[in-house]
Amino acid sequence: MKFIERLTTIDRRIIYIILAIVVLIPLISRSPERVRVMLPVEKLYNAVDTIPEDKVLIIDFGYAPQDMPELEPMGFALLRHAFEKRIKVLALCLYVQPLGLAQKALTEVTEEFNSVAQTNADSIIYGRDYVFLGWQPPPLIPMLGMGISITNVYTADYYGNKTDTLPLMRDVKNYNDVALLVSLSAGSIPRHWIAYAQNRFGVAVAAGVTAVSAADFYQYYQTGQFTGLMAGMKGAAEYEELVETRLNIKESRKASEALPSLTYGHLVMIAFIIVGNIGYFMQRRRRK
Amino acid sequence: MKKKFPLFLVFAFGILGIIPFIVPHPIVQNIDESIRNDILKILVAFALVLGLGSLLKVHMDKIKRKRESWQYSWILIISFLVSSIIGLFGGVEGAGPLRTFIGSFHFDIQTLYENIFMPLGATMFALLAFYMASASYRAFRARSFEATLLLITAFIIMIGIIPLGEKISPHLPSFAQWIMTVPNVAGQRGILLGVALGIIATSLKIILGIERNWLGGGE
């Protein structure tokens, strides 16, 4: 009886300790896990890869620190891909919390490229190769306004420069000059990009979302409204895999390195659920 | 007048919000752009100042009356003032007129963000994983057929999205993907269509003045 009771009443502190150990140990060893790339991520990669020279990629950095482990690697991988292929990038945020993370991603990836650049043409230069538009509330203003004029919505960039003076912005007027918009978000923002930017102006939209919210977005992928979809840490690791294998960029792969932690975390949770259920059924049988 | 004017505003701006989606004429589009870029931006700026003012007022009041946990209000007010001053005058990464470094010690807005806001936000959310593990162990029971089905589906998805799934069977990740793109989509789409129809009906009721609860004031 005691054993059966114990199966259903394991102290939560024991669960916490075991989970902490299995999550932390793989993070110390930091060995990236290889993954098979699924179709939604491959479609997104191909869409970015085929952006023509005269069009830009918009990345909506919509993740706050709590979503960082899943969504930040997506941002890094997308930027590496775009910069490697010399695709022009417009970065923006619809909320204030992600601003610092967007700035961090842009600075770090730019430094990666510039540390090995030999000439000015090789380098990633602000205003020429990318622009950080910053934050313009409420989200509806940039979503609809950029269909008419991007520089009218964002008169100044994140650093206070007038956007119409930046070389990149001279050729980028509105959504007609945008090949793809990727929304990295833990909330419902990707579906608003579809409702306002895609339905009204026809801009192609893709998304990177957290695993827990992914179920809400597959319907947009299935209908083709999302060009591609990255879901959770696995989705980010798949994009990292493509960036490394196809572009030969061997930078740190945060999502792939964290996958073993995710694997063991999932297995521990499954094990505890099974143990709990065994105890539950044994108790039920005894009562009968 | 007190009721009619807000109702008229809601009706006018509600209709103005719908028309540009249907009428592509330049005059309509220009009016729409002007409403968004000028009027809405000004309204948001007012709302921001009003919100910040209200937040400070609430916490000042809490300190004054020494309400429960009033000490934390000081942390909020000090953090608010420090980050506002550094953000407004220090600029991003210390590019503003305010000097935001002492020797090699930097305290510009990006440094504060990366060293205070980021760890705090990440820590709060990381705690959730532990609660979720404990809660799923206690609550996830195969009590009925539906619960068992949910449990099995959850296991397939949880294993299918980790690299181990591929090692168990190369079909497992594809099967997990199929669950997400077919049965999940079927359910989600039904819910979403229902919600969308509900939103349209409620919005029309508000725009046409049939639904007036938002005006407040009870009877």
Domain ranges of chain B: 1-64
- Predicted confidence (pLDDT) at residue B96 exceeds the cutoff of 90: no
pLDDT for res B24: 86
**Tens-digit pLDDT profile for residues A62-73:** 999 999 999 999
Q: A236 CB contacts (<8 Å, ≥6 apart)?
A: A70, A71, A73, A74, A77, A208, A230, A254, A255
Q: How far apart are CA A237 and CA A240, in angstroms?
A: 5
Q: B162 CB contacts (<8 Å, ≥6 apart)?
A: A234, A259, A262, A263, A266, A267
Confidence grade of residue A288 (pLDDT, cut at 50, 70, 90)? confident
Tokens standing for A230? Answer: 């990255």
Distances (CA, A) of B179 to A9, B157, B166, B184, B190: 32, 8, 16, 6, 16
Is the pLDDT higher at B100 or at A258? A258
Label the pairing between strands A56-62 and B101-102: unpaired
The stretch A13-36 carries a mean pLDDT of: 91
Confidence grade of residue A1 (pLDDT, cut at 50, 70, 90)? low
Domain ranges of chain A: 1-32+255-288, 33-252
Task: Give the dihedral sign, CA A149/A206/A87/A83.
Answer: positive
Peptide bond into A138 cis (omega under 30): yes
Q: What is the largest CA-CA distance in chain B?
A: 71
Q: How far is CA A176 from the centre of its chain?
A: 24
Closest-CA residue of A relative to B113 is A100
Q: What is the ipTM of this complex?
A: 0.84
pLDDT for res B217: 67
CATH topology of domain A33-252: Rossmann fold (3.40.50)
pLDDT for res B34: 85
Q: How far apart are CA B48 and CA A136, in angstroms?
A: 12
- Predicted confidence (pLDDT) at residue B219 exceeds the cutoff of 60: no
User: Shortest CB distance from B122 goes to which of A65, A141, A269?
Assistant: A65
The stretch A6-35 carries a mean pLDDT of: 90
Q: Enumerate the β-bridge partners of residue A274.
A: none
A102, A75 Cβ separation under 8 angstroms: yes
**Tens-digit pLDDT profile for residues A200-222:** 899 999 999 999 999 999 999 99
Q: In Å, how far is B66's CA from the nearest CA of chain A? A: 30
User: Shortest CB distance from B162 goes to which of A140, A216, A262?
Assistant: A262
The stretch B90-95 carries a mean pLDDT of: 79
**Tens-digit pLDDT profile for residues A52-95:** 999 999 999 999 999 999 999 999 999 999 999 999 999 999 99
Best A277, A282, A283, A284 member to test B by mutation, with max B CBs in 10 Å, is A277
Q: Please tell me the pTM assigned to this model.
A: 0.90
% chain A with pLDDT above 70? 100
Confidence grade of residue A31 (pLDDT, cut at 50, 70, 90)? confident
Do the Cβ atoms of A16 and B133 come within 8 Å? yes
- Predicted confidence (pLDDT) at residue B1 exceeds the cutoff of 80: no
Q: How far apart are CA A168 and CA B22, in angstroms?
A: 32
* Range name among A1-5, B118-122, B211-215 with the lowest pLDDT average: A1-5
**Tens-digit pLDDT profile for residues A142-193:** 999 999 899 999 999 999 899 999 999 999 999 999 999 999 999 999 999 9
Residues within 8 A of A (CB atoms), B 198-217 only: none
Residues within 8 A of A (CB atoms), B 112-131 only: 113-114, 117-122, 124-125, 129-130
- Predicted confidence (pLDDT) at residue B209 exceeds the cutoff of 70: yes
pLDDT for res A15: 95
Neighbour-count burial of A275, counting CB atoms closer than 10 A to its CB (0-12 exposed, 13-18 middle, 19+ buried): middle
- Predicted confidence (pLDDT) at residue A115 exceeds the cutoff of 60: yes
pLDDT for res B27: 92
Q: In Å, how far is A94's CA from the nearest CA of chain B? A: 13
Query: What is chain B's mean pLDDT, rounded?
Result: 90
Is the pLDDT higher at A30 or at B195? B195
pLDDT for res B130: 92
For residue A90, the surrounding DSSP H or E stretch is strand A88-93
Confidence grade of residue B213 (pLDDT, cut at 50, 70, 90)? confident
**Tens-digit pLDDT profile for residues B148-204:** 999 999 999 999 989 889 899 999 999 999 999 999 999 999 999 999 999 999 999
